[in-house]
Structures are given as C-alpha cells and as structure tokens.
Amino acid sequence: MNNFLMSLSKVVHASLALAVLLFLFLFFSEGGMAFDTIFWSWLFRYFHVIAGVMWIGLLWYLNFVQIPSMPKITDEQKPAITKVIAPAVLFWFRWAAFATIVTGLIVAYLNGYVHQAMTLGIGSGGGKNTAIGIGMWLGLIMAFNVWFIIWPNQKKALGIVEVPPEEKPVALKKAVMASRINTLLSLPMLLSMVAAQNLY
C-alpha cells in the first residue's frame, strides 16, 4: 500500500478509475442516460470544476504559502524553489487556468447563455445571467493576468528566459502584483459562480 500511495501516477490513475466506476454506477442505476446536451453540459461542468480547483488552489498556494515563505528560505535553498518547484507550479497553474476558461465557455455554450452572460444579462432579465457573467468576466481577467502578466514576468524572474539581472526584481514585482490581483478577484469570482448555480 505504501508503494501505491507514494506513486502520484498510480494514485491519479486509481482516482480516475474510481470516478469512471462511479459514473457507470450512476449511469446504469437509473436505467442509463441519453448522451444529449444535458449529459455533455454535466461532463464539461465536471471538467470545469476540476480545472478550477487546480487553478485557484495553486493561486492560493502561491499567495498564502510560497511567496510569503521565500524571505524565510536561505539563499542556498532558494534554487530548489526557483529552479524546480516554481516552474512546475506555474506549468499546472497556467494550463489549469486555460482549461477552466475553455470548459467554462463550453458549458455556457451548451446551456445557451454565452451571449447573455457575456453581456451581464443586459436585456435578458439579469439575475442568473448577470451573476454568471460577472464570474465569467472575472475569470477571463484572471486568466489574462496568468498568461500575459504573471507567466511572462515569472519566466524572467526565475531565469527561464535570460534578462539583465536588474530586470529580475522588476519582473518579480509585476508577477506578484498580478497574482495578488487574481487573489483579490478570486472570492468574488467564486461567489458569483456559486450564486448563479444556487440562488436563481
């Protein structure tokens, strides 16, 4: 059992197998489901939640754990973070942001509210469309920050791309500020998403 739990690959594959088995149980316990818009909407919402948990979880890890801990780490130990851990975190962080946006837009399309949400419910009764629209716009702003501010500046700060030494602290400050903006927007974004699903 120890060998199994120490292997991330085995644990992830087992989790996927359990999810598939649970899906099959739920599928057949009700006599099957139609592979219709409702099914695909549910499936992409599931992927949307998984990607969103990864994205916001890593955002909070960076802001609540890694960034505040860096001044406490000795110079000899910092390469472990800057050369190994941070690049791996940023890989999953940026692709989870991308997957969250894409799957969210697919869900909105399948449920027929992309236009209403993107216009914040103006002319379509507000309420749910306004709430989900606010969440979508906040998510798009946050994803823009990830791909066009945080990631390019982190590449400079971490030495993934070569820049003059004096540019590294400037790049790091820009990345941290954009990350803090995303942290600021994360709770309102999540609130509006949950409100759209549960209050209307």
Per-residue model confidence as pLDDT tens digits over 145-154: 999 999 999 9
Going 145 to 69 to 158 to 156, the CA torsion angle's sign is positive
Dist CA 52 CA 8 (whole Å):
20
Q: What share of the chain is helix, strand, coil (3-state, %, to 5)?
A: 80, 0, 20
Position 108 in a domain: yes
Position 130 in a domain: yes
Position 138 in a domain: yes
Closest CA relative to residue 107, chosen from 117, 96, 97, 95: 117
Residue 136, domain extent: 34-198
Position 146 in a domain: yes
Do 45 and 102 contact (CB within 8 A), yes or no? no
Look up the pTM and report it. 0.91
Position 6 in a domain: no
pLDDT at 85 over 90: yes
Per-residue model confidence as pLDDT tens digits over 26-63: 888 877 778 899 999 999 999 999 999 999 999 999 99
DSSP 8-state class, residue 126: S
Counting the structural domains of the chain, the total is: 1
pLDDT at 109 over 90: yes
Position 21 in a domain: no
Closest CA relative to residue 61, chosen from 82, 99, 84, 90: 90
Per-residue model confidence as pLDDT tens digits over 171-181: 999 999 999 99
